[in-house]
């Protein structure tokens, strides 16, 4: 069952990246961020109903709220920087580079969670990072056409997303010490809802059009939101029984799914150097099965 959850995480997150790119082709960065974030409102409502029906004695402890609030804030900032980079570069480039978050997560899990040091796990994380570096060198498309300042912004945003995504597994693992997976998911969805509501109010003060009337944007962002939520539920369910370092690394092979779909649906050009980098990412994730 746990292996099924891990596979579902990889598949869901990989396909979600395709819908992110399609959303950005149909809407502005601002509208995509807001519509994606607003998906957390119905998600929180659904989780509330499920918990009430099947776990009548559920509750949100202070520890769950604290760690999932940190998780929600880091996640939304990571999404904002990720969307910025995605809007200015190829989907396979951005998603493959951000797959370097396992090195952050695996190493931080040792001092922050007290997980045992494993040379094999570090080797797996390094393989992922090496693959990410190769992917970074392989970009000869959209990013290279940008001005130097914009290229710097894209790289900076990718790095921020990578570091924050590496921390998410740490926050989620900590929250599971205080409650069950669905309670953590509810706290996270509620935190993201508050975050996006604050962002919406801030943007309304600027009296600029938000672009929330484009149905295509809603369609693609909510498809992405559904897949991300499905992946998150599967991730946090598996995380309840598996070490955080292991989960962070093994789920990092989702870019291979995204790359295949990017070639088919987005008609991106085949880049063999990038494929080599992604192969290293997948190899690193596969090595975790031996830990």
Of the pLDDT bands very low, low, confident and very high (cuts 50, 70, 90), residue 100 is: low
| Residue pLDDT, tens place only, 153-180 | 888 888 899 889 888 888 988 999 999 9
The yes-or-no verdict on residue 210 having pLDDT over 90 is no
The yes-or-no verdict on residue 137 having pLDDT over 70 is no
- Please name which of 48, 105, 44 lies closest in space to residue 249, comparing C-alpha atoms: 105
Asked which of 143-157, 158-172, 198-212, 270-284 is least confident by mean pLDDT, the reply is 143-157
Residue 105's H or E segment, with its range, is helix 101-113
The yes-or-no verdict on residue 144 having pLDDT over 60 is no
Q: Tell me, what's the pLDDT at 131? A: 76
pTM (2 d.p.): 0.78
The yes-or-no verdict on residue 223 having pLDDT over 60 is yes
What is the rounded average pLDDT of the residues 79-97? 76
- List Cβ neighbours of 224 (8 Å cut-off, separation of 6 or more): 16, 17, 19, 20, 23, 36
Q: Tell me, what's the pLDDT at 291? A: 63
| Residue pLDDT, tens place only, 239-261 | 888 887 777 767 777 777 777 77
Of the pLDDT bands very low, low, confident and very high (cuts 50, 70, 90), residue 30 is: confident
Q: Are 90 and 261 in contact (CB under 8 A)?
A: no
Higher pLDDT, residue 290 or 123: 123
The yes-or-no verdict on residue 287 having pLDDT over 90 is no
The yes-or-no verdict on residue 39 having pLDDT over 90 is yes
Of the pLDDT bands very low, low, confident and very high (cuts 50, 70, 90), residue 212 is: confident
Of the pLDDT bands very low, low, confident and very high (cuts 50, 70, 90), residue 15 is: confident
**Average pLDDT of every residue of the chain:** 82
d(CA 274, CA 135): 5
Higher pLDDT, residue 111 or 186: 186
Residue 79 belongs to what domain range?
2-290
State how many domains the chain has.
1
- List Cβ neighbours of 280 (8 Å cut-off, separation of 6 or more): 127, 128, 130, 131, 134
Q: Tell me, what's the pLDDT at 70? A: 95
Of the pLDDT bands very low, low, confident and very high (cuts 50, 70, 90), residue 99 is: low
- Please name which of 22, 162, 26 lies closest in space to residue 81, comparing C-alpha atoms: 162
The yes-or-no verdict on residue 148 having pLDDT over 80 is no
């Amino acid at each position: 069952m746990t292996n099924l959850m891990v596979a579902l995480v990889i598949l869901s997150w990989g396909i979600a990246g395709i819908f992110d790119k399609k959303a950005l082709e149909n809407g502005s960065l601002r509208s995509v961020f807001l519509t994606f974030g607003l998906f957390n409102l119905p998600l929180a409502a659904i989780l509330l109903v499920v918990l009430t029906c099947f776990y009548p004695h559920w509750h949100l402890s202070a520890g769950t709220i604290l760690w999932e609030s940190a998780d929600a804030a880091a996640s939304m900032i990571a999404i904002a920087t990720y969307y910025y980079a995605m809007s200015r570069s190829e989907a396979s480039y951005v998603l493959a580079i951000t797959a370097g978050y396992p090195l952050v997560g695996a190493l931080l899990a040792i001092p922050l969670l007290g997980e045992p040091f494993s040379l094999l796990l570090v080797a797996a994380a390094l393989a992922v990072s090496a693959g990410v570096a190769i992917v970074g060198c392989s970009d000869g498309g959209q990013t290279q056409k940008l001005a130097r300042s914009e290229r710097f912004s894209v790289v900076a945003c990718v790095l921020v997303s990578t570091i924050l995504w590496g921390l998410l597994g740490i926050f989620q693992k900590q929250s599971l010490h205080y409650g069950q997976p669905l309670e953590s998911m509810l706290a996270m969805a509620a935190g993201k809802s508050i975050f996006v509501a604050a962002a919406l109010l801030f943007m309304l003060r600027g009296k600029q059009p938000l672009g929330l009337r484009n149905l295509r944007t809603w369609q693609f962002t909510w498809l992405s939101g559904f897949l991300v939520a499905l992946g998150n539920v599967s991730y946090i369910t598996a995380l309840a029984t598996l070490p955080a370092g292991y989960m962070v690394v093994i789920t990092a092979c989702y870019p291979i799914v995204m790359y295949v779909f990017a070639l088919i649906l987005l008609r991106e050009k085949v880049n063999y150097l990038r494929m080599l980098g992604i192969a290293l990412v997948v190899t690193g994730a596969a090595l975790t099965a031996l830990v």
